[in-house]
Amino acid sequence: MRKVFQAELQTIGEELINLSKLVAEAMERAYESFANADTQLAQEVIAADARIDFLQNKLDEHAIDVLALQGPVASDLRMIVGSLRMSASLERMGDLARHIAQLTRLRFPNQVAPESVQPTFAEMARLNIEIATKVGQLLDTRDLAIAAEIIGLNKEIDELHSSVFKAIASDDWAESAPTTTDVTLASRYMERFGDHGVSVARKVNYLVTGEWEPNLNDNV
């Protein structure tokens, strides 16, 4: 019976890793559509989010079944409850990538972001893709050094997010109200994507140590 239980836990872990890979791909493709005003790719990202949602629901149902049938305690209980919370963060990351793709579709044939802030969004996207990739590595290895790297990457995103707001507030900003709104939303989506990556890192830290690390606070 114990072997069956451990196999169930391993399957749940593999499902989380698979979700993280899909989320990383979603952000990569969403940003590509955003940068190139590619509505076909944007539509593919939007459609693919349904698969992320389906897999999250499947994972949660699996975890709840294990809770009900196996009655886990201690670290095993933390693993299952943590998995439920991590799957929610990963699903939200997929949603945020979808939101970026939706902005692309909304503003076609124009680009969402004006040229002045395009390098900032390129860097935010790069960091987010790296975060999502490292989340998968962290879930696989539970190496807390990777969790620290995720936090560091997210701090860089926060700084870039702040720089977007400074650009919008500057006297040199002469873009229209719709463009300003789109840029604000896109920056917020990018920033929240990274925050949810940190949320997963915090939960893995809890699984490994049984404690919440104070400096992993992500306000999610």
Q: Which residue has the tokens 């076609």?
A: 108
CATH 1.20.58.220 fits 2-216, yes or no: yes
What distance in Å separates the CA atoms of residue 59 and residue 197, rounded to the nearest whole number?
A: 18
> What is the reported pLDDT for 208?
85
Task: Report pLDDT digits (tens) over 30-56.
Answer: 999 999 999 999 999 999 999 999 999
111, 193 Cβ separation under 8 angstroms: no
> What is the reported pLDDT for 220?
46
**pLDDT over 60 (residue 214):** no
What distance in Å separates the CA atoms of residue 165 and residue 172, rounded to the nearest whole number?
A: 13
Domain extent listing, the chain: 2-216
For residue 218, what pLDDT band results from cuts at 50, 70 and 90? very low
